[in-house]
Structure 1
Amino acid sequence: MIQQSYMFLVRLFLFPFAVLYDAITRFRNLLYDLKLKPSASFEIPLISVGNLAVGGTGKTPMVEHLIRLFEANGFAMGTLSRGYGRKTKGMRLANHSDTAETIGDEPYQLFDKYHQHAVVSVCEERAYAIPFLVDQFPDLKVVIMDDAFQHRTVKAGLSMVLTEYGNPFYQDFVMPAGKLRESRAGIERADMVIVTKCPPHMDEEEMIKMEHAIRYYEDRPVFFTTIRYGEAIAFDGITAWKSAKVLLVSGLANAAPLKEYVSEQYELVHHFDFPDHHLYTNKDWLKINEMAEQQHAVILTTEKDRAKLRALAGEEESKNLFYLPIEIVFIKGGTDFDSIVLDYVKNAESFV
């Protein structure tokens, strides 16, 4: 009750700033809607994976799902993101010399896992990057644009918005009073809405209630997904799991679901909870490794953080490092979702 009262007072204080921010974003969107600001269209099918809120809603696992879907159906594909947190600028095609520092942690994760199936690229200017990719890779059939919903300089042919089960957009507020990058009405631009991080056994009645709440703003297909964690994998690919004690390390926007899962599966002795896209330092690593040795615990981290920690750990230290792979699983409508996506690419391709 005290926490709710505190949050109410904070939002009340921030409300005037939220009104101003909302007015600015609405005006910006109006300029695009009236075609007073240019939005480039391209012949190649473009899929936007985005959200209304700041923070992690599960965009990278969704991009990975799309990569696997297109690979299974024989479509050559590319991915394009801004490369948040990277220390480079401009257009960059991921290659084996890259690191999380040169292309960003999430694009590096995609390249590390899927470089044989997808062209992974980063660029701040998507209107420049798309024709560059098409010119360099004429066999591409589709480009997946990560976190592109508010980047309206390029018009996506299929736009999907992700919203977290624990904080759906229709219960949120515009920044800084809440986490929304724009008003709830922005959902009108989406072609579909995916509710992420749902309970694995979410009941039908609750799904129907959420569908109605979402469709109050715009009548679009709504899908529900959950996170499935895999078995912990050793960094060196060899070392077997050797301890029930776990020291968890993560740099996520919302690590609560991960911490909850690890606490249920293992004896969690400590959680180093760093900010999203955190670039680990030697000082960070020394603290982490020292505590792991003191607690006789293995170090468990995420796929996104794996590459950054691997660069700091020595060969022997790496034997005590493990990561948890994750993937999204559709609770409802997975087959329909895949059909909509594949039909869009096939139909768009037939007009090229």
Structure 2
Amino acid sequence: MKILRYLLFPIVPIYFMVTWLRNKLYDLGIKKSKSYDFPVICVGNLSAGGTGKTPMIEYLVTLLKIDYKVATLSRGYKRKTEGFVLADENAAADSIGDEPFQFYNKFKKDIAVAVDSNRQHGISKLQELQPKPEVVLLDDAYQHRKVKAGFNVLLTTFSNPYFKDIVLPTGDLREPRAGAKRANVIVVTKCPSDLNSIQKEVFINRINPEKHQHVFFSSIAYSETLYSETKTKTFDDLKSFTLVTGIANATPLVQFLNEQGLSFEHLNFSDHHDFTAQEIEQLSKKQHIVTTEKDFMRLKQYEVLKDKLYYLPIHVKIDDAQKFNKLIEAFVKR
């Protein structure tokens, strides 16, 4: 795969120019963006995935849902439906996508969870709800410039920051690095726990933020409890297990489990992997399966896995969370 990416390097300048020109047309107002008179917050990235958008959306939901009627709007990647879909008790990963299904399972009636590849249309449909949402969180919509979010949260990982990357197909960037200038906040995700102030300062200098931009650092916090549909366990209850991942970057999770001295085999699949009948049959022979919460949304439908399938929840820990929260809350209040 890496060799193919290098062979495709001659396409990089073409991709760069096409995406740069598209952004410039929006910047100049030649291509039109729609803005809104209520809070719309976009969480996204420049790279092609794996920066932690899902836990960041969940962080924002938790922050805002007590005081506001919140809705999430996602594309619904790999779902088998079309157009606008509002999650209800009949929702599944197939109908709305695994990440929105995770939002719905976690927050249920506290928020509205919707999917629509056309974000303008999705927002208009959300505004028809009674009561209508007071805040809309756009999941993975940084490049969806037909909507002009009032506040943009841009994520980039500590291990693979956008300023060290180039555009597709050789690199992982969906658009040139200059796109970062549209962000109000840049969050460096998946940071090591021992990150010090000097390292942060060096990183911020490399980002070289605009005067209006704020840079934050965050890390992943793992739960001490494993969850199934009906029960819980701890790792102490498992002598060994099979780790199943279908996410963009499983390295931080694998590293965490290794640091705990746990015994496991790792079956690593591509992001948003559609499990085949043969793969499910192979998994059914495993004694204990531990997976991510997102993968659990796709796997829990299989009855043969019901008594052996557990997921490990995660949440985001933001350095200077009070300042970050105040920026979000101040925007919403305005």
Q: Deviations over 1:95-117 (max 9, x none)?
A: 11011011000000000001221
- Per the alignment, in what secondary structure is the counterpart of residue 127 of structure 2? helix
1:255 is displaced (CA, Å) by 0.6
The count of residues paired between Structure 1 and Structure 2 equals 332
- Per the alignment, in what secondary structure is the counterpart of residue 222 of structure 1? strand
**2:92 aligned with 1:121, yes or no?**
no
* More displaced 10-residue stretch of structure 1: 130-139 or 249-258: 130-139
CA contact (8 A) 1:172 1:180 kept: yes
In structure 2, the residue matched to 1:206 is 199
1:218 is displaced (CA, Å) by 7.0
1:22 is displaced (CA, Å) by 0.2
1:13 is displaced (CA, Å) by 4.1
TM-score (norm 2): 0.94
CA contact (8 A) 1:160 1:192 kept: yes
Q: Deviations over 1:160-218 (max 9, x none)?
A: 10000000000011111210001111111111100000001211100011011112677
CA contact (8 A) 1:65 1:327 kept: yes
Q: Distance in 2 between matches of 1:85 and 1:266?
A: 35
**2:329 aligned with 1:334, yes or no?**
no
Equivalent position to 2:78, from 77, 85, 90: 85
Alpha-carbon RMSD: 1.8
Q: Deviations over 1:134-166 (max 9, x none)?
A: 121444211000001000000000011000000
2:329 is matched by which residue type in structure 1? Answer: L
1:42 is displaced (CA, Å) by 1.4
Q: Distance in 2 between matches of 1:306 and 1:92?
A: 21
Q: Which has the higher helix share?
A: 1
1:35 is displaced (CA, Å) by 1.2
Equivalent position to 1:299, from 270, 289, 298: 289
Q: Distance in 2 between matches of 1:183 and 1:219?
A: 20
Q: Distance in 2 between matches of 1:50 and 1:153?
A: 15
2:107 is matched by which residue type in structure 1? Answer: Y
Q: Distance in 2 between matches of 1:211 and 1:324?
A: 31
Equivalent position to 1:182, from 175, 185, 196: 175
**2:47 aligned with 1:53, yes or no?**
yes
Unaligned runs of 5+ in 1: 1-5, 348-352
- Per the alignment, in what secondary structure is the counterpart of residue 80 of structure 1? strand
2:99 is matched by which residue type in structure 1? Answer: E
What does 1:1-352 align with in structure 2 at a 5 Å threshold? 13-72=7-66, 74-215=67-208, 220-238=213-231, 240-241=233-234, 242-290=237-285, 292-293=286-287, 298-314=288-304, 317-330=305-318, 332-347=319-334
- Per the alignment, in what secondary structure is the counterpart of residue 115 of structure 1? helix
Instruction: Classify 1:50/1:239 alpha carbon distance in 2 versus 1 (closer, same or farther; 3 Å).
Output: closer
1:16 is displaced (CA, Å) by 2.0
CA contact (8 A) 1:82 1:122 kept: yes
1:10 is displaced (CA, Å) by 7.0
Q: Deviations over 1:78-102 (max 9, x none)?
A: 0001000101110000111011011
Q: Deviations over 1:53-101 (max 9, x none)?
A: 00210000000000000024x1111000100010111000011101101
1:307 is displaced (CA, Å) by 2.2
2:73 is matched by which residue type in structure 1? Answer: L
Aligned-pair identity (%): 39
CA contact (8 A) 2:190 2:219 kept: yes
Q: Distance in 1 between matches of 2:232 and 2:52?
A: 29
CA contact (8 A) 1:59 1:147 kept: yes
1:254 is matched by which residue type in structure 2? Answer: N
* More displaced 10-residue stretch of structure 1: 163-172 or 136-145: 136-145
2:124 is matched by which residue type in structure 1? Answer: P
TM-score (norm 1): 0.90
CA contact (8 A) 1:174 1:181 kept: yes
CA contact (8 A) 2:241 2:264 kept: yes
Q: Deviations over 1:246-292 (max 9, x none)?
A: 210111001111111122225333111111111223221111222x2
